[in-house]
């Protein structure tokens, strides 16, 4: 049985004070039967780490550079994240792929650096509207999964795939339960081919893209949907916690 994993992805939002407040409110109310994480902006990670200390919330980061130190102006490395208590890190989010133009080779290096350092890597995949409309969805997802190297990633507990259709992120337009389940099942099947069926049955696959309290139960109850990566709705304690509660009730 895969424990559901709900991760709040704060993106480039909030202030130091509001980050601490939000983290404290979430820490007070999380259930035991769901994994809950939050990924603040880099500059607030340390403050948030103190705010949630002693709780079982997993601290996360939104991005990282793949080298482990050195002359890389402006970048942050995995050892720095570990130093602050970070447990998971995103890689390949569509905003980085499409706005920051991160190519597949860079995403691949980041995911492997995160995994190899002992953290949980959340590898994000998702098609644009144009790709969906031209029936390219499954090809795009397969190619993004092939950025992963089975010879490096051997522990299914530390690999999470986030399926985030680009057209559903921050748009209020959400994938239907059937659309989400179809792609999630395809992701699991592709992972089974790349690794093996047992490994695939243990990897958690999160849905992301306008996931909110109103649609959480329907999406999270799909057989291959093992949690959510939440942007907008993670910025308020009550909406984030109500998604967490929906996951807990299904667990
Ligand atoms: P959203 O973002 O929930 O605001 O659509 C999801 C994400 O980008 O992770």
Tell me which residues are annotated as active site: 93, 164
Residue-wise pLDDT tens digits, 17-59: 999 999 999 999 999 999 999 999 999 999 999 999 999 999 9
Length of the chain: 251
Q: What is the 3-state secondary structure (H, E, C) of 22-74?
A: HHHHHHHCCCCCCEEEEECCHHHHHHHHHHCCCCCCEEEECCCECCCCCCCCC
Cα 8 to ligand 1 centroid, rounded to whole Å: 9
Residue 119: closest CA among 77, 69, 177 = 77
Q: What is the pTM of this model?
A: 0.98
216 band by pLDDT with thresholds 50, 70 and 90: very high
Give the number of the atom of ligand 1 that is nearest the alpha carbon of residue 232: 4
The whole-chain average pLDDT of the chain stands at: 97
Mean pLDDT of 149-177: 94
177-194 and 213-220 helices, crossing angle to 10°: 50
**What is the per-residue DSSP string for 78-114?**
HHHHHHTT--EEEES-HIIIIIS---HHHHHHHHHHH
What whole-number distance in Å separates Cα of residue 26 and Cα of residue 152? 34
Which residues face 228 on adjacent strands? 6, 207
Q: How confident is the model at residue 171 (pLDDT cuts 50, 70, 90)?
A: confident
At 174 the pLDDT is 87
Q: How many angstroms separate the alpha carbon of residue 161 from the centre of ligand 1?
A: 14
Which residue has a Cα nearest atom 6 of ligand 1? 231
What is the per-residue pLDDT for 47? 98
Instruction: Name the 3-class secondary structure at 120.
Output: strand
Can you tell me the mean pLDDT for 203-230? Answer: 97
Task: Report pLDDT for 1.
Answer: 81
């Amino acid at each position: 049985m895969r424990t559901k994993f709900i991760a709040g992805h704060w993106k480039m939002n909030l202030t130091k004070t509001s980050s601490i407040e939000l983290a404290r409110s979430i820490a007070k109310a999380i259930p035991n039967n769901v994994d809950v994480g939050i990924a603040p902006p880099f500059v607030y990670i340390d403050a948030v780490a103190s705010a949630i200390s002693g709780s079982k919330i997993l601290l996360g980061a939104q991005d990282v550079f793949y080298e482990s130190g050195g002359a890389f102006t402006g970048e942050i490395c995995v050892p720095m994240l570990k130093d602050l208590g970070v447990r998971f890190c995103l890689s390949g989010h569509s905003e980085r792929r499409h706005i920051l133009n991160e190519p597949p080779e860079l995403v691949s290096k980041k995911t492997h650096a995160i995994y190899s350092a002992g953290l949980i890597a959340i590898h994000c995949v998702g098609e644009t509207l144009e790709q969906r409309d031209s029936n390219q969805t499954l090809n795009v997802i397969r190619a993004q999964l092939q950025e992963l190297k089975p010879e490096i990633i051997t522990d299914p507990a530390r690999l999470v795939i986030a399926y985030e259709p680009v057209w559903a992120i921050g748009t209020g337009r959400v994938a239907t339960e059937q659309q989400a389940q179809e792609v999630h099942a395809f992701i699991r099947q592709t992972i089974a081919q790349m690794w093996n069926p047992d490994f695939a049955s243990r990897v958690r696959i999160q849905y992301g893209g306008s996931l909110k309290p109103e649609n959480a139960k329907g999406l999270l109850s799909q057989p291959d949907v093992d949690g959510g990566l939440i942007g907008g709705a993670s910025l308020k304690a009550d909406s984030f916690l109500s998604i967490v509660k929906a996951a807990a009730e299904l667990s």
